[in-house]
Structure 1
Amino acid sequence: MNKSLLLAWIAAIIATLGSLYFSEVMHFIPCTLCWYQRIFMYPLAIILGAAVYRNDQGIYKYALPLSIIGLLIAGYHTLLQKIPYLQQFEMCTTGVPCSKDYINWLGFVTIPLLALIAFMVITICLIIISRSKEENRDQ
């Protein structure tokens, strides 16, 4: 079993369970950008789990686009919370504002930052898998 694939799946599971904990247990209402991040994270938990079970090294072809798009959304969301100037371009016009900090651990760790880290771990792991697959093909 590929350790990168397992790590990517674990990151997706933790992110999925974490988002469900924040919304269902802590009763934090997700903003629009949080919903978009969930749209890209939740399928990753399922397809990466199936890939781990089947030891499918070719999963990066399908999972990498999801993780990169999620990474970009989480990155924008993190910047929106951390840079006050960007709040004038905030796309959340109804409900919870995207710039709202439900948590702020250690003065900088917010929910979008946690999502950014998860998407980054998944993306890096999938790139490692794709590179090792290419190297094996070249030999």
Structure 2
Amino acid sequence: MNKSLLLAWIAAIIATLGSLYLSEVMHFIPCTLCWYQRIFMYPLAILLGIGFYYHDKKIHRYALPLSVIGMLMSGYHFLLQKIPYLQQFEMCTSGVPCAKDYLNLLGFITIPLMAFTAFTIITISLVIFARINKNEE
């Protein structure tokens, strides 16, 4: 059993369930960037689970691009919320603005920061997983 792959899978499950809770239970309407982040996170919860179950030593090849892109996107989204200058480049033109803070715990913990943290955990875990499997070859 590879602990780094398990950690990545658990992070993806928690992030997926958390986003569903925020939208379906708390009734927070996702902005455009939130939808894009979901597009990259939801498949990870499935892919990493399948990869873990089948002991797929190459899962990082197709999961890592999803996590890196999601990490960059959620990092940009967090900066968009926290740096007023960047709001002129906001891509959300209709519906909920991407710069809107539904949550702002302790003055800096927002939904995009939580997504960024999850994507970062997944990315680091997959890099560790890839290095472990490369050393075993």
State the TM-score, normalizing by the size of structure 2: 0.98
Aligned match of 2:76: 76
**Structure 2 partner of 1:10:** 10
Match of 1:38 in 2: 38
Aligned counterpart, 2:109: 109
Find the aligned partners of 2:131 and 2:82 in 1 and give their Cα distance: 34
Segments of 4+ in structure 1 off by > 2 A? none
Aligned mates of 2:58, 2:86 — CA distance in 1: 38
- Give secondary structure in 2 for the equivalent of 1:95: coil
What SS does the aligned partner of 1:57 have? coil
CA RMSD, Structure 1 to Structure 2 (Å) = 0.6
Q: Which residue of 2 aligns with 1:67?
A: 67
How far does residue 56 in structure 1 lie from its aligned partner after superposition? 1.4
Unaligned runs of 5+ in 2: none
- Cα distance in 2 for partners of 1:24, 1:57 equals 35
Pairs aligned (count): 137
Q: Secondary structure at the match of 2:21?
A: helix
Secondary structure of residue in 1 paired with 2:28:
coil
Q: Which residue does 2:94 correspond to in 1?
A: 94
Q: 1:54 corresponds to which residue?
A: 54
1:28-62, CA deviations, whole angstroms, 9 ceiling, x for partnerless residues?
00000000000000000001011111121210001
Task: Output one character per residue of 1:59-97: Cα deviation in whole Å (capped at 9) or x when no partner.
Answer: 000100000110110010011011110001000000000
Which residue does the alignment assign to 2:27? 27
TM-superposed CA distance for 1:133, in Å, is: 1.4
Q: Percent identity?
A: 74
